[in-house]
Amino acid sequence: VTMAWAMSGRLGFSLMPRVESDQVQATVTLPIGSHISVSRELSQQLLDAAAQLSEQEETLTFSSTRSSLDGESLEVRLDIAPESLDAWPPSRIAQEWRDLTGDLLGAQSVRFESDFGGPGSGAALSLRLSHPNTQVLEAAAADLAERLAEYGLTDIDSGLGDGKPQLEMRLSAEGRSLGLTGSDLAQALRGPLQGATAVEQFIGRQEVSVEVRLPEQSRNSLSELYRLPVRTPDGMSVPLSRVADITLSQASSSLQRIDGRRIITVTADSESDQAINQVLATLQEEVFPTLSNTWPGLEVSMGGRQQDTADNLATLRNAMWLMLAALYALLAIPFRSYLQPLLVMAAIPFGIVGAVGGHMLMGFGLSIISLLGMLALSGVVINDALVLIDYANRKRREGMAPREAIVAAATRRLRPIMMTTLTTFLGLAPMILETSRQARFMIPMAISLGFGMLFAT
């Protein structure tokens, strides 16, 4: 029952345990080319919402507020007063701050964080989309972002940031008939727009180059651009608009490629790992097949935390099988038996059940740190069974009947085994019950060891 509960995703699983900071941060990304005044307005909106939150709640105070901004991004950070941390967890402050801030007009993406900069930080959900057609890829990313909003996720980013405006030029049919190539168009544009060296001369001992190009007003004029002369191979001069198809488009703010494929990463966040696991299961069953049917050729894969978690679990799984094989070999040699090592190792599943139950009891989700604790636990819980079977074997060699040898071993070794287990658990109890931020990273491992040993015994 315990393992079924853990496998169902209700307990939650993450790469690293979330360790909340004593600060809360809002990060806003703006479209490329945004004016600094827009950043100032959005920064002030965030600061006003933080001040309103502090005024509404008497038990919440901020020791300081800081902001940094430029034309395309801004950060606002709130330092929580130590006396407010007990009543106000940083994750709750981030949620309240998000609600009071409302919509930030002109923002490309917004992210409120209470666990930034440490293990377990970053977007809770990261999905990578790939498709040969860029337009289909962008449409699918926007569609997926809208669907994620239906599941109560926050800070959704479609990864579709607009870049700077650009002009795309392609050689027209008339240009090809005149014998022009794409390099001819580039050469015709490079001199007037970027500049060309007209004169090189020496002034004293220094060589000076004089470059010429169109005036700024002409460089920024589309009509002047269309009239730029392009020289054909036979010496004719024709305007650019006759030999090229010119269209105005928006450049991508960033390009991501994996194995040569263009990808877009859609990210979202949630207050708990349990919610993310349940949403992810629903996405795999319902949303991903729908996207694949709507956009044929679309590939959806996990990225970010999910990809790192899968990679680490694969490594840990291999380490577990290697450890079990080594344990079996080390037990089989002194016992000179193929069956008795299995009896000793039968305590390992009970330890794992106790570790999972301990996480449920203490309100912690599973993480890689928890599994490392269970891996270490596997080598510890066999000690009790090893002592019992070794003592029973000695009594058997002395001529005692099997049943009597087992009873004698249990009676003689019960007190030492119980004392060892209880003292180990009590030694781990201070770390399990610790509430400081510095200790939370190691608490899952202590829970696995302490409760696993207790239950296995």
CATH, residue 80: 3.30.70.600
- 171 and 113 within one domain: no
- Distant-in-sequence, close-in-space partners of 302: CB < 8 Å, separation ≥ 6: 126, 127, 128, 310
Q: Identify the domain boundary among 56, 85, 117.
A: 117
Q: Which percentage of the chain shows pLDDT scores above 90?
A: 3
Q: How confident is the model at residue 179 (pLDDT cuts 50, 70, 90)?
A: confident
Contact in structure between 129 and 300 (CB atoms under 8 Å): yes
Quick one: which H or E segment has residue 17? none
Q: Which two tokens stand for residue 204?
A: 């004293």
Q: Inform me whether the pLDDT recorded for 126 exceeds 60.
A: yes
- 319/451 same-domain check: yes
Cα 219 from Cα 223, distance rounded (Å): 10
Q: Is residue 145 part of a domain?
A: no
- Give the whole-angstrom CA distance, residue 80 versus residue 448: 32
445 and 319 within one domain: yes
- At 351-369, the pLDDT tens digits run 989 998 898 888 888 888 8
Among the residue ranges 55-64, 111-120, 392-401, the one predicted with the least confidence is 111-120
Q: Which stretches does DSSP call E strand in 104-175?
A: 109-113, 125-130, 154-157, 162-171
Contact 205, 246 (CB under 8 A): no
- Domain assignment present for 268: no
Q: Does 269 fall in a domain?
A: no
Return the closest-CA partner of residue 374 out of 352, 359, 403: 352
Which of the four pLDDT bands, split at 50, 70 and 90, describes residue 53? Answer: confident
What is the pLDDT, as a whole number, of residue 446?
A: 92
- Going by C-beta distance under 8 Å and a sequence separation of 6 or more, which residues neighbour residue 202? 208
From 217, 431, 435, select the one nearest 451 (Cα to Cα): 431
Contact 114, 21 (CB under 8 A): yes
Would you say residue 122 has pLDDT above 70? no
CB-based burial label for 118 (10 Å; 0-12, 13-18, 19+):
middle
Spatial distance between the Cα atoms of 13 and 270, rounded to a whole number of angstroms: 13
How do residues 404-420 score in pLDDT, each as one tens digit? 888 888 888 888 888 88
At residue 105, the pLDDT reads 83
Residue 132, token pair as written in the block: 């040969």
The number of distinct structural domains making up the chain is: 3
Residues 350 and 441 both lie in one domain = yes
pLDDT tens across 138-175, in order? 888 888 888 888 877 877 887 776 666 777 888 888 88
pLDDT band at 447 (very low <50, low <70, confident <90, very high): very high
Domain boundary among the residues 62, 94, 117 is at 117
Same domain, yes or no: 93 and 171: no
Q: Sheet with 62-69: list strands edge to edge.
A: 62-69, 73-80, 23-29, 109-113
Give 316: exposed, middle or buried? Use CB within 10 Å, 0-12, 13-18, 19+: middle
CATH number of the domain enclosing 450: 1.20.1640.10
For residue 32, pLDDT beyond 60: yes
Tokens of 447: 């829970």
Domain containing residue 243: CATH number: 3.30.2090.10
Same domain, 170 and 99: no
Question: Same structural domain for residues 65 and 185?
Answer: no
How many angstroms separate the CA atoms of 47 and 28, rounded?
A: 13
244-259 average pLDDT score? 71
Query: Where among 54, 82, 117 does a domain terminate?
Result: 117
296 within a domain of the structure (yes/no): no
Domain range spanning residue 245? 164-252
Residue 128 belongs to a domain: no
Q: Read off the pLDDT of each residue in 56-83 and give the average, rounded to a whole number.
A: 78
81: which DSSP letter? P
Q: pLDDT value at position 106?
A: 78
pLDDT surpasses 90 at 315:
no
Q: Are 450 and 358 in contact (CB under 8 A)?
A: yes
| Neighbouring-strand partners of residue 270 | none
pLDDT at 10 over 70: no
Residue 326 sits in the same domain as residue 441 = yes
- The verdict on 319 and 422 lying in the same domain is yes
The model's pLDDT over 253-279, given as tens digits with 9 standing for 90+, comes to 566 777 777 888 888 887 666 667 778
Spatial neighbors of 149 by CB under 8 A, at least 6 apart, are: 156
- The CA-based angle 434-440-443, given to 5 degrees, is 75
**277 part of a folded domain:** no
Query: How confident is the model at residue 451, as a pLDDT?
Result: 93
Burial (CB < 10 A; 0-12, 13-18, 19+), residue 336, is: exposed
Q: Do 74 and 186 share a structural domain?
A: no
Cα distance between residue 104 and residue 31, in whole Å = 13
Find how far residue 265's CA is from the centre of its chain.
11
Kindly state whether residues 168 and 111 are assigned to the same domain: no
237 burial via Cβ count (<10 Å: 0-12, 13-18, 19+): exposed
User: Is residue 5 a part of any domain in this protein?
Assistant: no
Structural domain includes residue 289: no
- pLDDT tier, 197 (very low <50, low <70, confident <90, very high otherwise): confident
Same domain, 100 and 178: no
Helix (H) or strand (E) holding 392: helix 368-397
